[in-house]
Amino acid sequence: MVIDFHSHTFFSDGLLLLAAILILIPASAGLAQLTDEDISRRPFWEKFLSRAKVAGAEDIGEGVTRPKKLRLKRDEVEAFAVWKRPTGTGADLLDKWEHEIAAYRLDKLLGLNMVPPTIERSYHGYAGSLQLWVDSPYNELKLLKDKISVPPEKKELYDKAKSLQRAFDSLIANADRTLQNLRSTQDWRMILIDHSQSFRDTAPYAGRLIYACGDDPSRHGISRLPRGFVDKMRALTYEKIRAAVENYLTSSEITEVLVRRDLLLKEIEALIKDRSEAFILY
């Protein structure tokens, strides 16, 4: 049984063998990206990623960090995952595999529910990040090149997802959000991958937001956001982030997350004052 990160649930003799992450039912959390079932299966996938045997590997053509696509097998389950340890020509000095894991853990802490399960895993004697493979038909580059439009009935959902992505990228100072790593499922839910260049704690990302709230024509903006996400952002503390990410972030990197959090909340409050809370938060 080979499973990609997409829309099926498998049963055998009445026993649930595997529930793949992106099943096509809405999430009750209101973010409409990963579903409640997806979220409940994260411990299964984390365990699978850590214990499954590597049955094959191939280079991935995209990216300068030379990621590997691994075929994993454990018991009757097979799946693909991306192993990353940035060493390729063009990889930035601040390109860290640890940031992939920190982004996933912060995603869980905030209830973002857009980053696939990601763990630490050694491959050929080297530690790196291992992330469940996303089998998604769309990315932003393909939409532009092939002139594919988001269906009208999905446009509001997609726009909300992009606003949430921008808020998250601003919070973690993701310096490498390309069109290729903005992925969408068949039913137009957004999945975020590639966070190795996040959590910058030096200029020009220290004390600065990548995206702004409002209608600044010179920058892509953050508009509407889930109330639960904003509330969890407000509740962040150094201690909560440290407990979630453990040693995958430095003290300086965590401090800068909180600095950007304060800036983001200030902009959100200004937007609410200008347009009303009911219009901005949902």
**Residue 213 confidence (pLDDT):** 83
Pairing mode of beta strands 138-139, 182-184: antiparallel
pLDDT reported for residue 63? 59
State how far Cα 252 lies from the chain centre: 22
SS3 category, 2 = strand
Instruction: Give 47's Cβ-side CA count (13 Å radius).
Output: 9
pLDDT number for residue 94: 79
- φ/ψ of 190, rounded to 5, equals -95, 135
> Which residues are within 8 A (CB) of 65 and not within 5 positions of it... i.e. 6 or more apart?
84, 85, 86, 87, 88, 91, 95, 196
Pairing type for strands 53-59 and 68-74 reads: antiparallel
Q: Which helix (H) or strand (E) holds 69?
A: strand 68-74
Task: Note if the pTM is more than 0.85.
Answer: yes
Given the structure tokens 């024509």, which residue do they identify?
A: 217
Nearest CA to 183 out of 174, 175, 192 is that of 192
Residue 218: its pLDDT value, please?
53
In the prediction, which pLDDT does 232 show? 97
**How confident is the model at residue 175, as a pLDDT?**
85
| pLDDT the model gives residue 281 | 95
- Could you tell me the residue ranges of all domains in the chain? 2-132, 138-280
Query: pLDDT per position in the chain (282 positions), as tens?
Result: 555 444 333 222 222 333 333 333 344 344 447 878 889 999 999 999 999 999 999 998 765 667 999 999 999 999 999 999 986 555 567 799 999 999 999 999 999 999 999 999 999 999 999 999 988 899 999 999 999 999 999 999 999 999 999 999 999 999 889 988 889 988 898 999 999 999 999 999 999 999 988 655 555 689 899 999 999 999 999 999 999 999 999 999 999 999 999 999 999 999 999 989 999 999
